[in-house]
Chain A
Amino acid sequence: MDQLNIFVLEDDKLAQKVMASRLAEHNVDLAANLKTALKKLETGRYDIGFFDLMLGPGDDYSGLKAIAAAAAKGVYAVVVSSSDSEEIIDRAYELGARDFYAKGNEESNVAEIIAKFVRGRRAADAADVFGSAFVTGDAPTRAMITEALKYAPTELPILLLGPSGTGKTSLAKVLHERSGREGAFVAINCSAYTQDLLEAELFGYRKGAFTGAADGRTGRLLEAHKGTLFLDEIGTMSLNMQMKLLKAIEERSFYPLGSEKPERSEFRIISATLEDPQDLIARGKMRFDLFQRVHGCTVNLPPLAERPGDITLLAQHFMKGGRRLSFTAEARERMLDYAWPGNVRELKKFIDLLSSGAEGRVGLETVAKHLKGQPARRAAGGGGLDDVYSDALARGLEAALDKVADQVIARSLAETGGVRTRTMTELKISTRLLYASLRRQENGRGTIK
């Protein structure tokens, strides 16, 4: 248990006693009025501060002033007050309060606040995530992941989007490791199972639940109790299975196959899909209510080819602790030009192949041999069939063709000054196709990229 330095501003003697008892495992410093509070906050060093707002009968919420002083000193300021006015709550947050709790539930609230603070501090103290756990030097990707890491210690579900091989599983693990959750990280690739098998895998089953169930088995949902359940390729799950999963998420309990006794599991959901969830919903492949349940924070990992700076960085990372290779300028250029349809996974395999080769100094010929027959992205002018082909390999032909259609329609609209009827006439397309494209473009703009 981390022993913390905690400051409490509370004028009521009974409330002081309650807080002191609830925080007995920590170093607690009490102040009963604003003047003492400001003096103590000026000179003391505190991790967390609990603040009452109304200090004495008729007081005009003078505790708010102490919040600003605490926030300026980097104290994690939490209001514990009987005030329920929206105006006062907003003001407290504006002044730097990190949380606001109603008085009267200290037994659960204080423990929750301390746990949340400790989890957040551990996450901040953790080693630089981008140096080893998720290697990237790409500024937009770093910014997006940094934002997602803020939610790691919370219950908020996280949805990871991006083509295959971009590191969705690695990122899910990073988020779990920084969540402070005591349970395990349990991953399951939904596309690897038929509906019946997926149900048995997720919910578990009792002995004799079905033919061949000679022994019972614990499901992944239960294995993920107090931990993280990572559902990869969630878009491949049948609608019926989605409904069952939704119920388990909402009720935090489920029935293993063949069992009449419900099991309880407090798992946190991180899910991933390489398809566009809005498109899945539009095509009736994904339940909207399930989507609502799993997309609290969305991270869209770009393909490796869109962050070429990471190619060299990742190659160096994969060689760490093993054979160090050296690339000629031409070889490096070829690697940078390559589209990497398999993304980081393909790059890792490529480095592994080279590492087991005869030459330590790698030239263009060796690189070209391994990347043979694959498109060289920028050499092809950053467009054309090569790009469509890589996209189709990464996301499927339908999605790749949709993207081409969107680009053509967007260009036509730009050239026609946004006159949709002219675009439809010139491109000989239907209203339905035009609006489907516009919807996709609109959704694309709304996604975190």
Chain B
Amino acid sequence: MTQDSSKLLHDIRSKCASLKSAAELYKDCSSGEKKEMLALMTAAAQEISNALAALAKAA
């Protein structure tokens, strides 16, 4: 595995972990926080998708 792929995988793991933690926290958020959290979660999901595309390209 190349160093780039390794870093991409690290990035994917990291963002997935953040998504998991955010999902656990979501139910306890106020409605205002929920909106903010959803926006951040959506952005993280998009970044995961981008990282996966980059990983596929590198493969």
- On B, residues with C-beta under 8 Å from A are 4, 7-8, 10-11, 13-22, 24-25, 28-29, 33, 36-37, 40-41, 43-44, 51
Contact = CB atoms under 8 A, between A and B. Distances in A.
Interface residues of A, number: 22
Given A17-B40, A81-B14, 5 more contacts: A14-B43, A21-B33, A82-B13, A103-B14, A104-B17
B11 A54 contact: yes
Interface string A1-15: 000000000001111
Contact of B14 (A17, A54, A105): A54
Contact of A14 (B7, B10, B40): B40
A54 B7 contact: yes
Interface string A97-133: 0000011111100000000000000000000000000
18 contacts: A12-B18, A13-B43, A14-B40, A14-B41, A15-B17, A17-B36, A17-B37, A17-B40, A21-B25, A22-B25, A52-B14, A54-B7, A54-B14, A57-B7, A57-B11, A82-B14, A106-B24, A107-B25
A57 B17 CA distance: 16
Contacts of A81: 14
Interface in A53-68: 54, 57-59
A106 B14 contact: no
Nearest to A81: B14
A22 B24 CA distance: 11
A18 B44 CA distance: 13
A3 to B, nearest CB: 20
Nearest to A19: B21
Contacts of B24: 106-107
A119 B13 CA distance: 32
Interface of A: 12-15, 17-18, 21-22, 52, 54, 57-59, 81-83, 102-107
B14 A18 contact: no
A14 B15 contact: yes
Given A17-B36, A18-B18, A102-B17, A12 B44 contact: yes
B11 A104 contact: no
Contacts of A107: 21, 24-25
Nearest to B16: A104
Given A54-B7, A58-B7, A17 B13 contact: no
B18 A14 contact: yes
Contacts of A54: 7, 10-11, 14
